[in-house]
Structure 1
Amino acid sequence: MSCGEDKGIVVIFEDNHLLVVKKPVNIPTQKDESNDSDMLTLLKEDIKCRYNKPGNVYLGLVHRLDRPVGGVMVFAKTSKAASRLSDQVRTRQFKKVYLAVVHGILNKSEGRLEDYLLKDTRNNVVSVVKEGTPGSKLAILDYKVLGMHNDFSLIKVNLHTGRSHQIRVQLANAGHPLYGDQKYGQSVNKPGQQIALWSNEIALVHPVLKEEMVFTCETPGSEPWNWFDVN
């Protein structure tokens, strides 16, 4: 193994403008107070190694994934690409699809959740609050049930807004906390379980070529994913 491979980095797609990778679970997107290895730093080191680049390497963070969440992730290799992709995120052209395993059987096979979320930055906890609460932001997602196993459901989630912890908080508030979520599903999950939330698909318009592109990443083959015919 060489460069980033021994760090578990899997490149899904790369050109002069984009770097699309599979983010392993339990790695921060960027450096945080834990000071653990983070994706942004690891990928910069990997590019530097693979292309034998001297000095600093530019890599733009376009979107984030929570530390315990894995799956497909897109980075920009130029500031122009970063700016154009950020515009797509803002105008909701940058589409993100997640897979999640949740507790319980949902009443409807598909639907939409709309909530106002408020983040407590000091404790890094997000809550559902009443509309009009100062500092709150509207969060919207669509879901579709793909399968059921005992008292668990596999759902596909289309995000329309990118709020912090959005999927985890909204589904917990709806009575269906994610399998393994230690923060928003403590009462039903066991310590040590890995959260079952996965960045499955990202669709975007190439920042330079203007072509529509779709990138996917299969879920792990471990529990609870292997309870369902996921991929």
Structure 2
Amino acid sequence: MSTSRLQGSDIPVLYEDNHLLGVIKPVNIPSQEDASGDPDMLTLLKEDLKERYNKPGNVYLGLVHRLDRPVGGAMVFAKTSKAASRLSDAVRSRSFKKLYAAVVHGTLHRPSGRLQDALSKDSRTNTVTVVPKGTEGAKEAVLDYKVLAEQDGFSLLLIELHTGRPHQIRVQLSHLGHPLYGDQKYGSRQNKPGQQLALWSLLVSLSHPVSKEQVQLRSNPPGTYPWSLYPESLVSSAVDQHCSTS
């Protein structure tokens, strides 16, 4: 898929029509405005649309899904309220496919599997924990993983996210005993301050809200460490295989 870049920005565009805007979110930019006051994806993209199309007044852009601030990769936004509503329905019905790559500490006991946990969020500390199923307020979290490679004490995983809970991948893998590389919040014992979280949004696949055609937004991880431990083709091939069999 060819990419262009937003004017005066480091945000690559993967897909755009009258209804959708698909981009590669850079790491360390919030998905939406937060307490930090730092520039966020939603605001940056609205400003770009306003300038590029010379639109007066407020520009509509709907946040369909979120990526944690330290996570980069494929992300889609809705350019109309109708598209936002239909994509939100797709997220709820789990027909909105999301694949991630992650580098975690250690060797997993099983080469593939499903993690199903109950997660509880503490809004005061912005942390999420795995709690016993049936705990009041807890929400179900489900993901599938596959080990693609092991190198230097780390494992490269392909992850399909079935539910979009806050910090879900990070929390569930840490609870399994394999925190993500660079995760200060859920793996501080194994990681050092300053390390970049190794979690990347590889694929967002959805039915177009109007045409119903299948839209796939893909983005490979950067070539920096620890991603550089593995050939880039390994991740691309894994995504190709996953898409052809699902």
The TM-score range, normalised by the shorter chain, is over 0.9
Q: Quick one: which of 183, 189, 192 aligns to 1:190?
A: 192
Shift of 1:52: 1.5
Compute the displacement of 1:4 (Å): 3.8
Note the C-alpha offset of 1:54: 1.6
For 1:166, the equivalent position in structure 2 comes to 168
**Separation of aligned partners in 1, 2:102 and 2:153:** 14
Aligned partner of residue 141 in structure 1, secondary structure: strand
What TM-score results when the alignment is normalised by the length of structure 1? 0.97
> Is the partner of 2:142 in helix, strand or coil?
strand
Query: Percent identity between the aligned chains?
Result: 65
**1:214 deviation in Å?**
1.3
Q: Deviations over 1:154-191 (max 9, x none)?
A: 00000111111000000000000000001000000010
Matching residue of 2:153? 151
Q: Any residues of structure 2 matched to 1:47-196 within 5 Å, and which?
A: 47-196=49-198
Q: Is the 8 A contact 1:141 1:159 kept in 2?
A: yes
Unaligned runs of 5+ in 2: 237-246
Aligned partners of 2:19, 2:215: CA distance in 1, in Å? 13
Aligned length: 229
> What letter matches 1:94 in structure 2?
F
What CA distance in whole angstroms lies between the structure 2 residues aligned with 1:199 and 1:39?
Answer: 15
Q: Which runs of 4+ in 1 moved over 4 A?
A: none
Which whole-Å CA distance do the structure 2 matches of 1:78 and 1:5 have between them?
21
2:147–2:157 Cα contact (<8 Å) kept: yes
Q: Equivalent residue of 2:156, what SS?
A: strand
Letter of the structure 1 residue corresponding to residue 216 of structure 2: V
2:205 maps to which residue?
203
CA drift at 1:55: 1.3
Cα shift readout 1:9-51 (whole Å, capped 9, x = no counterpart): 1110000000000000000000011000000000000111111
Unaligned runs of 5+ in 1: none
For 1:90-110, what per-residue CA distance to the aligned partner results, in whole angstroms no more than 9, with x for missing partners?
A: 000001000000000111111
Deviation at 1:6, TM superposition (A): 3.0
Q: Does residue 1:38 correspond to 2:40, yes or no?
A: yes
* CA-to-aligned-CA distance 1:187-217 (integer Å, 9 cap, x gap): 0001000000000001100000011121101
Shift of 1:8: 1.2
Mapped contact 2:14–2:22 kept (Cα < 8 A): yes
Aligned-partner SS, 2:8: helix
Does structure 2 conserve the Cα–Cα contact (< 8 Å) formed by 1:102 and 1:176? Answer: yes
Once the two structures are superposed, what CA deviation does each residue of 1:117-165 show, in whole Å capped at 9, x if it has no partner? 0000111000000011111011110000111111100000001111110
TM-score scaled to structure 2, two decimals?
Answer: 0.91
Amino acid at match of 2:202: N
The answer to whether the 8 Å contact 1:4/1:42 transfers is no
RMSD: 1.0
Q: Do the aligned partners of 2:6 and 2:13 also contact (CA within 8 Å) in 1? A: no
- Paired AA for residue 182 in structure 1: Q
